[in-house]
Amino acid sequence: MEKIISFGRTDLEIVPIIFGGNVFGWTLDEKCSFEILDEFIDLGFNAVDTANNYSHWVEGNQGGESETIIGKWVKEKRNRDKLVLMTKVGGRFGADSKTNIKASYIKEQIEHSLNRLQTDYIDLYQTHYDDETTAIEETLRAYEDLIKEGKVRYIGASNITESRLIESLETSSKLGLPRYISLQPEYNLYDREKFEKEYEATVKEYGLAVIPYYSLASGFLSGKYLTDEDFSKSTRGVGIQKRYWNERGQRIIKTLNEVASAYNTSASSVALAWLLAHPSITAPIASATKKNHLDSFVSAIQLRLGEEAIEKLNNASKY
């Protein structure tokens, strides 16, 4: 793949599907997390994304559970030099908390993340959610200090408005401060409109890597939901049905399965391959809770969708 984020690591080629660590400490306990991470690495992948507040939404959790699990696994496997670790700062730890990217908070939270991940540095440290009450320069200068101290290699942004993203990039250029090298937006075959209308021109103009989250739309595009009954099998499925199972969603699933059948592969492989074929997308983030789910990651990298298949998917998902 040509679309690689190098992170200055000449010794390490970044495989363009990133494991989403939100499942660690949520739908996967520590033992199962270790097992799926082992399989992920054995298949040749090497990038993991998490956040300092994952998975605070689980009853009994405080946030930081995902980083803790990853850190224990890294220590046990002694494989830090073979990994790209990405984490985030600024998100909420519950309904009563607020987003925060003030300098003092960032510098406090990086220590917690480094300790939990049991590492000396983060490859990509990302603004998880913007805090528009904080001056952009303050945030960037905090990141500058962390980079100078060797605790962070590069910085990225996730949930940030287009105007604040542009202002951040321009501030970096004007003041000689560290620059966001990546954007982590919500983007998939169903959720296309916001990225394509609000961000795509900007990432092209500024040359940002794009590493979308919810690449499989919370599992909706995985191929497991085909009928109303399929959604009723879990509480999570009910929520997915409410959000996605409309006329457009059903059209997307029908087309996704038709293309998957034509290529003799899975729906999730096609959904990921569609992202990888998109010129603006660098590496999608996807999660898995079973080892066989990782098969679609491998298939997606190997799959080369033809123009006709891509056009068919584009038409089915048009908004």
The catalytic residue positions are: 54
Q: What's the angle, vertex CA 155, arms to CA 153 and CA 159, rounded to 5? A: 155
- CB within 8 A of 164, min separation 6: which ones? 130, 132, 136
Eight-state DSSP code of residue 209: E
| Cβ-contact 195, 212 below 8 angstroms | yes
| 3-class secondary structure, 14 | coil
CA–CA separation, 155 and 177 (whole Å): 11
| Cβ-contact 273, 305 below 8 angstroms | yes
Q: Closest by alpha carbon to 237, among 256, 218, 250, 255?
A: 218
Q: Tokens 């399965």 belong to which residue?
A: 257
